[in-house]
Amino acid sequence: MMRIGELARRTAVSERSLRYYEEQGLLDAHRTSGGHREFAESAVDRVIHIQELFAAGLSSRTIADVLPCMRDSDGGPAAVATPSLVETLLGERARIEARIAQLASSRAVLDEVIEAASGK
């Protein structure tokens, strides 16, 4: 069991964000009699998962749906995704694909500007 400071240090995620994750139901925390959070070892992996999913642009709501399907190091039985969740994830994947294409296009625009502005 570790407290929030250690978890923050080990994951390089701010305490503020960890509290937010708990508030959003992404992270379980026991409480001491005094009200301080206590996290299991597996919380480290979980926070890393959360960060990955945030980086993928998923909302905290979607992450809350996805997390039960991800196998943590605590080896809890991974829940099976509902068809609608899979659909959501496929949609997110398509969004990422589209975003990549858009960025590639933006890069091309930028290259034109840079070429016109610097070299010529």
Q: Contact residues for DNA (CB under 7 A)?
A: 3-6, 8, 13-17, 19-21, 24, 29, 32-37, 51, 54, 59-60
The residues near 21 (Cβ < 8 Å, ≥ 6 apart) are: 27, 47, 50, 60
- 55 vs 45: CA distance, rounded Å: 15
Decide if 1 contacts 30 (C-beta within 8 A). yes
Interface segment toward a second copy; rule CB under 8 A; list 5-13, 15-23, 39-47, 81-89:
81-89
Binding residues (CB under 8 A) for a second copy: these are 52-53, 55-57, 66, 69-71, 78, 80-81, 85-86, 89-90, 92-93, 96-97, 99-100, 102-107, 109-111, 113-114, 116-118
